[in-house]
Structure formats: C-alpha cells, structure tokens
Chains A and B, each alone.
Chain A
C-alpha cells in the first residue's frame, strides 16, 4: 500500500515538472529564437529555421537603425518615456500627498473621480483625444498638438494619473504622521515639508510607479500610432511598420533586429529589478 502511494506521488512529481518545463520552454524558445534570428543573414532564413546562426551578422542592426530609422524612433521613445515619467511624478506626487493627508472641501468628489479613472481605458478614448487635439490645431490655425513628442508625453502621463495617484496616496496614508508634524512645528512651510520630508519617505512606492509606468510607456503603441506620424514615431510603432514592410520584402534579419531593439531595454530592466517588479505588483494589485 505504502509503495503504491509512493509511485503515485512520484508520477505526480514528474507530471508537475513536465508541465512547468513545457510552459517555461514555450516562453524561452520564442524569445531566444528572436535573438538568434536577429544575427542571421537573410539567406539563412530560407534553410532550416532551427539552425544556429552561421555568424554574428551585426549588419541587421545597422540596417534597422539606419534604413528603418529605428535609431531616431529609439530616441523618440527615450524622450517621450522619460518626459512622461517626469510629468507624471511632478503632478501626481503633490496631489497624492494632499489627497492622503489633508481634509478639504471636495475631497470625496476628487477621490471618487480618480477612482473612476481607473476604469477608463485609453483604447476607448484615443479617438476623442485625437479629434480634440486636431480641433485645437484647427481653431488656433497651427499645427502644434498633433505629431508632437511633448504632447504625446503629456497624454501618456495624464492617462497614468489615476493608477499612480491611487498607488501613491495609499502609500502616503501608511506613513507615520509624526515626521511632518515635527517639521511643521519647526517652522517648515507646507511645500518644504512635502518636498524635503514626505516625498523622500515615499521612495519605495515611487520606484514601483516608475517601474510599471516605464514599461507601460515604453511598450505603448496605440496612442503613439494615432497621434504621431512620419519620423516622429516611437519604437513600437516603428516596429509595427517594419513588420508590415518586411513581410512583403522578406527582410527578416532587419525585422528581428528591430524586435530586439524594442525588447532589450525592458528585458535588461527586468533582469535588474525582477524581485521588485513581482513584489510591487501585489502592492497595486491592478493592471490596465
């Protein structure tokens, strides 16, 4: 009897490992495939697709950067992501702090409004945003709001405000009140107390906000696709165009190189902070 039980147990264990390894392989293989394909020469794509690359064909990356303008798209992505993160933090930190700590008229309404914002997804409102920006351009008779990397960053930051305020203000609520009371009694003004005392204490949640929103902004494509065109594209939109172009021309190497360019920064970041990331998500518990 005992022996039989052992066998069942062992079988169960084997089954578990097979299932886990299958899932792991299904993730590793496609990602590794992309990296390998990115250093293959074009003619290698017509032989066995599972063959290892014959050499390190770096020309793919040069082509992607120059011919497919991934270089300037990369620059655009860096600028829009960084700018959006800065704007997001500059507007969200004070708002979250005040919402968490102060009593004032209209607080409940504002809180409800920001909470409701959690349920508004950008996919529904991209078209109205586009039409609104186009309308502003038309009324002022300028071409400023569309195709502008700064405006794109502002839109990114705005759409991330509800989640960020939710996350930051629930963190501020957990901080002890003693520090700021002491600072205020010592004659520190409200602004100074907030900037010098409270915001530094919120560092762990700020890191979480930066991590999640970096990934969101860097990977985003539907807003950028709608609001930007030509040389002002961001990386994911550029990759989309490259994908469509390479299907016709069969320039696979360049396409895979573009793919690596888009995902490498997020992978590096992930390797550096994976603990933080997988812990941070339980803090928010939400995903858009």
Chain B
C-alpha cells in the first residue's frame, strides 16, 4: 500500500514541472489565439468586445491579407518542389555513385542548417545588395560591364519573392538531403544488383527502387516541410525585407506581426493566426492523404 502511494507520488513529481511549463507557455497561448480571434481588442486599452466571427469576415475581405496568403502559397509551392527534387536527386547521387569527397559534400551542404535565420538573412542581404558591392550584382557585372544596371533584388516588387525563395531553398536543401541519404543508404544493395542484371539503367533504378523505397520518408518530411516553410519564410522575410517593398514579400505570419505590433489590433491578428494554423493543418492533411501509396512488400 505504502509502495503504491510512493510510486504515485514519484510519478506526479516527475511529470508536474514539464506539464505545467508546457501548459502555461504552449497550451494556454494556443487556446488564447483562438479565443482572442473572436474579440475586437485595441491592444493597450483594456477594451475587449466579443465580435464572434467578424474578424474572420474582415480578413477575407482584406486585400493585404489575401496578398500575403498568395505570397505564402507561392513560396510553399515553389520552395517545396525545388528543394525536394534537388535534395532527393543529390542524395541519391551521393549514396549511389562513387563520388570522391562524398563526406566533404555532405558536411558542406548541411552548413546552412546550423546558421541562424538572422545570419542567413544578413548573408543574403549581402548577396542581393543592389550596389556594385553586392555579391550577385558584382558577379553579373563581370559579364556585362558597360551597359549594366544593377538589379534591385530586394527592391523590385517583381523579383523580391524569387529572391526570398532562393534563400529558402539554399537554407533547406542540405538538411533534407542528409535526411534522404540516411534512408537511402538503408535500401538493400541486392535490389540494385538484380535490377542491373535485368538491364535496368540508372534512371530506371532511381524511379523503380530508390523512390518507392523511401516514399514513406518523403511523405513525412513533405508534411513537416510545408509547415516549417510557412514558419521559416516568415522568419527570413521579417529579417530580410520586413515584407517590403510595399508588401510585395509579406507572408501571412508576418502580417500577424504587423497587425499585432504596428496596429496593436491583437484580435484581428490572432484571427489571421487561427486561419493560418488551420490552413497549415488542412494542407498537410491533404498532402498526407494524396501521397498515400500501398506499402511495398519485399
């Protein structure tokens, strides 16, 4: 009897601190996002009035929000396709081919992943610099010295989003490549041997063995990739362009910050947060369902 009591006490003492911290700083704030989204709240003034779904209706009539949402969707689509394709291809090359310096490449490709988003945005600030000192501009001017006008990578509304996409691909590719390399190297070698005896070429082997064998891994990473792209694109854009010029690179999460801190309209900001939150879940659910394949029997 005493023993079970002691055990119960031990269990709850172990669980309590983590549960309390997790509840206070994650669960309650998350609930608050949804609760606050139904309020008209001017921020510093304590005036909070319940307005139901009004904030949501406003959001879908707010062209700035729609624009930010479009930007985010474009970023997700392009970054996901490019990063995934390149990461899978590079991983399969590094695992399948006898490449000299394989380890070297792996180490280098992973570097962007250990850098702070602020560091990455400073680096890309230097790369995209519109003066002649900019890394890209000075490189291009080598080939076109006379008539060359520098490109405003971050100052041109038509280019800025692609500049952001370039930075996002740059920072994500190594991480996913290393991940796929790990799962590809566990594919049994005899599959490739028998395939090549049957006369299957490298491309055929890639599509018939490598891809199907790591499909489950691709599916999981795809779901997480979409969610993390929403987040990292915000962190990067916030540091690199703060959504400019004129909202051309604004992301949905960045728009929340603008509403919350510049306009102090917390209720409206949180309504948008709730929309994005639900949007990201629906999107990853759809991705998860649509990529479902029958498991492979070996």
Contact = CB atoms under 8 A, between A and B. Distances in A.
Interface string B28-61: 1110110010000000000000000000000000
Contacts of B257: 127
A221 B107 CA distance: 25
A197 interface: no
Contacts of A286: 224
Given A30-B127, A95-B18, A281-B178, A218 B116 contact: yes
Contacts of B206: none
Nearest to B118: A236
Nearest to A46: B133
A236 B179 contact: no
Contacts of B105: 20, 23-24
Interface stretch (A154-162, A174-182, A201-209): A154-162
Given A27-B170, A154-B25, A243-B125, 7 more contacts: A20-B90, A98-B15, A114-B22, A128-B29, A190-B7, A240-B239, A263-B115
A187 to B, nearest CB: 12
B27 interface: yes
Interface string A218-248: 1111100000000000001101100100000
Given A49-B132, A190-B6, A277-B110, A94 B220 contact: no
Interface residues of B, number: 87
B260 interface: yes
A7 interface: no
Interface stretch (B72-80, B145-153, B190-198, B266-274): B266-274
B298 interface: no
B90 A19 contact: yes
A158 B118 contact: no
A219 B115 contact: yes
A63 to B, nearest CB: 16
A121 B227 CA distance: 9
A1 interface: no
A134 B68 CA distance: 29
Contact of A16 (B26, B93, B178, B266): B93
Interface in A37-87: 37, 45-46, 48-50, 87
Nearest to B260: A127
A159 B170 contact: no
Interface of B: 6-8, 10-11, 13-15, 17-19, 21-22, 24-30, 32-33, 36, 86, 90, 93-94, 97, 99, 104-112, 114-119, 121-127, 132-135, 138, 170, 173-175, 178-179, 182-183, 202, 217, 220-221, 224, 227-228, 231, 234-235, 238-239, 253, 256-257, 260, 266, 269-270, 273, 276-277, 281
A128 B97 CA distance: 50
A165 interface: yes
B14 A263 contact: no
A288 B106 contact: no
A269 B238 CA distance: 27
B126 A95 contact: no
Contact of A262 (B10, B14, B25, B116): B116
Given A98-B11, A281-B178, A281-B179, A127 B273 contact: yes
Contact of B126 (A30, A97, A191, A274): A30
14 contacts: A16-B97, A24-B108, A30-B123, A31-B123, A49-B132, A95-B17, A123-B234, A128-B32, A191-B10, A219-B115, A236-B116, A243-B121, A278-B182, A288-B231
A221 B118 contact: yes
A270 B114 contact: yes
Interface string A121-134: 10111011101100
A236 to B, nearest CB: 4
A225 B18 CA distance: 25
A27 B109 contact: yes
Contacts of B123: 30-31, 33-34, 259
